[in-house]
Chains A and B, each alone.
Chain A
């Protein structure tokens, strides 16, 4: 596609992801409140949070590395915007997908977590360093099962790296519900719980234990950018899950559109419910869970997919 259309797509996708992300952040807080028998904040709460953060002063600590400290949130935001744009483009028109775009999206979605690591490490604060090191260990733990969980989708799409082909595969005849895909879906669901920094895996940002971890020294607009990035991830990651492992978004007919939206909301609500019913785990427990629990499970899914696709 040409440059104008690409920039237009970036703009539309980022605006849509921000709006959808902030709305889903409200859904998160409202469902949390309902689970805890509370009333919860009004629907415009995340917008008010962002507006307030944009009005506060930006403090850069004396010991901090200024460039890394201020660039980290922007880099995370930019990567999420591009990933959102790719997902929107592919779902609107599966033929516009290019070879390897699934890999590109997965790669881009590691960057927000890396931005948290860089931000925390540049803070000049031991809490920031603590948060950065924990987030690094988490990234090393959950990236492998996440990628392995995508393999059944790639195999089902006909041994392809194109998201467009993966979306089109069920219509082209391959089964949309296989054991391998279901296992992959469950594994990926746990992995995005960690990617989103939600309990039980919000170890890097543990409020009560390490004073906000990597976000400890952030205030004002940089914190607003981090906040918006996390909101966008709340929209983009479930969208990736639905796109790759649950048939994608189809807006052809009303029924298909309703089904797509329901699938997406179900993933979000499951994430929120897991967040509200579990305690935070220790970093070594989390690493053991990902390396010795989810990775073997994902390998089982890959093997089943390979077996299932063998002619």
Chain B
């Protein structure tokens, strides 16, 4: 694999986007940064702006208000950028599937902007930090294969 792909797999900077979550998944993501799970071992750092991001951690199903904003955040992220849908609501809208305020699961909303987006799913309500780390690592391995 070339050095750029190696760099992407060893240093994925993540940007957290909450498009309508109840905050449980957000708390579990924060847990990943704590000394017990320590995702900085993998080079993952929480960055303040989508421009610096290699992975968008999306939590929650997309509400009508958040839909254009999520699409804008994805467009403004510097490519290559993968999307990790964390939690049952991000994978499929979860229990809010038929609700009046939902505009769809994040993967459908992002594929409207970029049909070739690399999207990984971490189910759970909320997923344990171990599951989030496993999902992130698998997504990176798949990205390396897809980009090589």
Contact = CB atoms under 8 A, between A and B. Distances in A.
Query: In the complex, are there CB atoms of A and B closer than 8 Å?
Result: yes
Interface of A: 29, 33, 36-42, 44-45, 48-59, 127, 207-208, 210-212, 215-220, 223
14 contacts: A33-B40, A40-B38, A51-B6, A52-B8, A55-B4, A56-B78, A57-B79, A207-B48, A208-B48, A211-B48, A217-B49, A219-B51, A219-B52, A220-B78
A56 B79 contact: yes
B47 A212 contact: yes
Contacts, number: 93
Contact of A217 (B42, B43, B51, B79): B51
B48 A59 contact: no
A22 B80 CA distance: 24
The contact size tier of chain B is 20 to 34
Interface string B7-19: 1101111000000
Contact of A219 (B4, B38, B78): B78
A219 B79 CA distance: 10
A45 B7 contact: no
B3 interface: yes
Interface in B44-59: 46-49, 51-52, 54
A40 B4 contact: no
A49 B8 CA distance: 8
B4 A51 contact: yes
Given A36-B35, A38-B35, A51-B3, A216 B49 contact: yes
Contacts of B79: 56-57
B76 interface: yes
Given A52-B10, A212-B47, A29 B78 contact: no
Given A45-B11, A51-B7, A52-B10, A218 B48 contact: no
